[in-house]
A and B are shown apart, each in its own frame.
Chain A
Amino acid sequence: MWHERDGCERFDELISFYLPDSIKTAVRGIKREYLIELEELRIRAGQPLMGVFAGFDRYIGRDGFLSDNPQFGLIVSPKEVDNLFMLLCEHSVYAYQDDISRGFITLKGGHRAGICGTVIYEGNNIRGMKDISSVNIRFSRQIKDCARDVFGHIVRNKQDIYNTLILSPPRCGKTTLLRDLCRMVSSGTGTSFKGLRTAVIDERSELAASYRGVPQNDLGPRTDVLDGCRKSEGIEIMLRGMAPQVIVVDELGATRDPDAIKMAWNAGVRIIATAHAYGLDDFKRRLGIGQLAAKDGFERIILLGMDNGKRWVRVMDAYGNELSGLVKIDRLSDGIRGLYGIRDEAVGKAGRETACLIKTHGDPA
């Protein structure tokens, strides 16, 4: 229900600001109860318009009718894709060429458009992309207070937190939870916890979703954002220049990340990070970054997953001892139940849980 909570204006802005008329009409025609579950719009040249609703997809007709039959989907012409791309770039491709080289454009409102086309190389580096064939618009979803149930577990005392690692398979809400933890750490929670100076290294522009330098998401009043910078370099820059008490990074995994994290720890700075993993043991097996979960590493591990269509979270200490029990996070949208009737529930579950349930359910951690 993210549009209702936080993003309604931003969603409307996206629709009117960026989408070509035919796609705009189709999206606006989607029934409200479905629209609020829309996570992605997938636009491919010569293919029917597709929406991803809380984990699985439907074709979108010209009047907003949803179907699993591609014949009913609005066919998007190559010219419309090109038109959309130019609108996303504000008719100024050069102004977005660094983003385009990385495969996505951050939009006003914090939304993000992934793009595919023909890659242009300059030497060994990607210089840009031409002949855009696909665009995937992912709607930004800041859900304030979704971290409320776990926040208490990462607080060491009213002026300090534990080094915390959030683990889950893709699409289970890691970044959403991290964003809200960042906001809470930075803001503080009154007398029980004072806010801390927080530095965000937003390598993929997903946490702050900065648009022309202005964060589109609320990360708290004590937060400084280094946008588009590699984590290893960003941590060093922040340590040198901004004297943070906490550094927040998304998706650990590069070979240089462990050294950078250790550098921060040596400077007495706490880290909150996420990584793709199906459990603590899975993470520990990772070459390089796995060592960060060993003794003297991350002190709190937050595991996210999904069971029977409900997202859950577990908080553990570094030794795998469970601190929280199983907590259902109702504040993260479950989507599928609101979107599909009984007939489709099994289909919905299957689609939604492909990424999460199978691999996290029964995880030894």
Chain B
Amino acid sequence: MEILLNLKNQICSLGVPLYAAFEEIGTEGTGGLWSEIFLRCSQVMKEQRMDAGSAWKKAISENRGLLPLESSDWDSIDDFGELLGKSDRYNQEAVLDMARESIAVLEKKAEEAVRTKGKLYRNLGALCGAAVVILLI
């Protein structure tokens, strides 16, 4: 959630272009692997003149094996960049709020999984939840 709030600030308040906002978030390094993904996304956008949706998918696909998420979770995360950068600040705010909500759902699902699948998945669930939380914040 912290990352998403930061992104919202970069976009809606500061009007920083996406590649620069991603770079800023990635450089802060508070999101673990997600920071790497944001940095990679920024790099792809800058170097290949790619839109955020495609760059995000590319960055995610390169790191998919490193994150313990289920395939349905990946679908939500894949689409995260799709609407970014394509409209004005007002609409971007709505897009980011929507992303926060869907990540909150993922987070809740992860917590649920931890409870129902017991001790075996406790660590995995916590990791996943934490990662999702970091991404969404």
Chain A positions near chain B (C-beta within 8 angstroms): 17, 86-87, 89-95, 97, 127-128
Contact = CB atoms under 8 A, between A and B. Distances in A.
A95 B51 contact: no
Nearest to B11: A94
Given A86-B51, A87-B49, A92 B88 contact: no
26 contacts: A17-B49, A86-B51, A86-B85, A86-B86, A87-B49, A90-B17, A90-B19, A91-B17, A91-B18, A91-B45, A91-B50, A91-B86, A92-B11, A92-B17, A92-B19, A92-B85, A93-B87, A94-B12, A94-B85, A94-B87, A94-B88, A94-B92, A95-B15, A95-B17, A127-B88, A128-B88
Contacts of B18: 90-92, 95
A80 B83 CA distance: 19
A92 B45 CA distance: 11
A21 to B, nearest CB: 10
A93 B89 CA distance: 8
Contacts of B87: 93-94
A90 B52 CA distance: 10
Contact of A91 (B52, B90, B91): B52
Contact of A93 (B19, B49, B88): B88
Nearest to A92: B17
Nearest to B52: A91
B16 A95 contact: yes
Q: Among A93, A94, A127, A128, find the residue whose CB has the most chain B CB atoms closer than 10 A.
A: A94
Nearest to B90: A127
In the A-B complex, the 4 residue pairs with the smallest Cβ-Cβ separation, listed nearest first, are A92-B17, A94-B89, A95-B17, A92-B85
Contact of A97 (B45, B49, B52, B89): B89
Contacts, number: 47
Contacts of A94: 11-12, 15, 85, 87-89, 91-92
Nearest to A127: B88
Interface residues on B, range: 20 to 34
Interface in B90-136: 90-92
A17 B19 CA distance: 14
A93 B15 CA distance: 9
Nearest to A130: B87
A32 B88 CA distance: 39
Interface string B41-57: 00001000111100000
Contacts of A90: 17-19
A127 B92 CA distance: 14
Contacts of A89: 85
Contacts of A87: 49
Contacts of B17: 90-92, 95
Q: Among A87, A90, A92, A127, find the residue whose CB has the most chain B CB atoms closer than 10 A.
A: A92
A91 B42 CA distance: 11
A322 to B, nearest CB: 49
A91 B89 CA distance: 13
Contacts of A17: 49
Nearest to A128: B88
Nearest to A87: B49
Given A17-B49, A93-B87, A95-B15, 13 more contacts: A89-B85, A90-B18, A91-B52, A92-B11, A92-B19, A94-B11, A94-B12, A94-B87, A94-B92, A95-B16, A97-B15, A97-B89, A127-B90
A23 to B, nearest CB: 13
Contacts of B52: 91
Nearest to A98: B15
Interface string B1-23: 00000000001100111110000
A14 to B, nearest CB: 13
A89 B51 CA distance: 10
B100 to A, nearest CB: 17
Contacts of A128: 88
A45 B65 CA distance: 42
Contacts of B19: 90-92
Nearest to B53: A91
A95 B51 CA distance: 14
A17 B48 CA distance: 10
A92 B90 CA distance: 13
Interface string B27-64: 00000000000000000010001111000000000000
A91 B91 CA distance: 15
A91 B51 contact: yes
Nearest to A101: B88
Contacts of B16: 92, 95
